[in-house]
Amino acid sequence: MAPPNTQKRIKGVSVFRPFVYGTTARPFDPVTNPKPEGVSADHTHSWTVFVKGVDDTDITYWCKKVQFKLHESIPNHVRTIENIAPGETFEVHETGWGEFEISIKIFYVPESLEKPQTMYHQLRLHTYGTEAEKEEMRRKGEIKAWGYEEMVFNEPGEGEGHEDYEGRHGGKRGGTDGYSAYEYEARSTLYQGDGDFGD
């Protein structure tokens, strides 16, 4: 029998951990993005789905693993990425021809005392947005659909991953700071994909 967990939660504190997630897709092209040998003839794009730190900062001290649930038509459509080196990206690379919704489940380090959280993201293979944004995607030859999130832990557990409140590209909020009593809250803004955050 496992020993009881005697770790305490820290009252009156909310800890936030920012990260970036999304997909980047590139159409196959004989020169800039040739189709690998063995890829199905009807696949039109290569793409990557990922979770990583803002500006590629390390998130492995609070994120233990990420599970990506892809379309069921894709072999081994549930992929779990873990044991990556500090500062690396939780990511899956694939090819295909259609857009679909991807389930992204984030697992925290055990000492955080937090349950896994699931979010959803739409894979985009084709240009979208304003005409200027579409033209920029065509010019760069890739379709970025990136998002910015903050995981907010209210009254976090004492231990690695939460004790260094001010550092590691995160911070703390004393008191409730306007948040409800929920253990978890995600707040989303638009991530432009080039290091700039918009409202």
The radius of gyration computed from the CA coordinates of the chain, to the nearest angstrom, equals 19
Lowest average pLDDT, out of 42-46, 122-126, 157-161, goes to 157-161
Let me know if residue 195 belongs to a domain: no
- The pTM is what? 0.77
Domain assignment present for 38: no
What is the SS3 assignment for 117-184? Answer: EEEEEECCCCCCCCHHHHHHHHHHCCEEEEEEEEEEEECCECCCCCCCCCCCCCEEEECCCCCCCCCE
pLDDT at 2 over 50: no
For residue 75, being part of any structural domain is answered with yes
Q: Is residue 88 domain-resident?
A: yes
Q: What is the CATH number of the domain that holds 165?
A: 2.60.40.1970
Q: Is residue 47 part of a domain?
A: yes
The answer to whether residue 179 scores a pLDDT higher than 80 is no
Res. 154 pLDDT band, cuts 50 70 90: confident
Residue 8 lies in a domain: no
Note down the domain range covering 70.
13-33+43-174+181-190
Residue 123 within any structural domain of the chain: yes
Alpha carbon distances (Å) from 176 to 13, 28, 104, 116, 125: 7, 49, 27, 22, 40
Could you identify the residue written with the tokens 């999130």? 149
Q: What is the pLDDT at residue 153?
A: 77
Total count of domains within the chain: 1
Residue 197: predicted pLDDT: 30
Least confident of 87-91, 135-139, 183-187: 183-187
Q: Tell me the two tokens of residue 131.
A: 């005409």
Taking a C-beta distance cutoff of 8 angstroms, is the pair 187, 149 a contact? yes
pLDDT band per the 50, 70, 90 thresholds, residue 14: confident
In a domain, residue 51? The reply is yes
- Could you give the percent of the chain with pLDDT greater than 70? 71
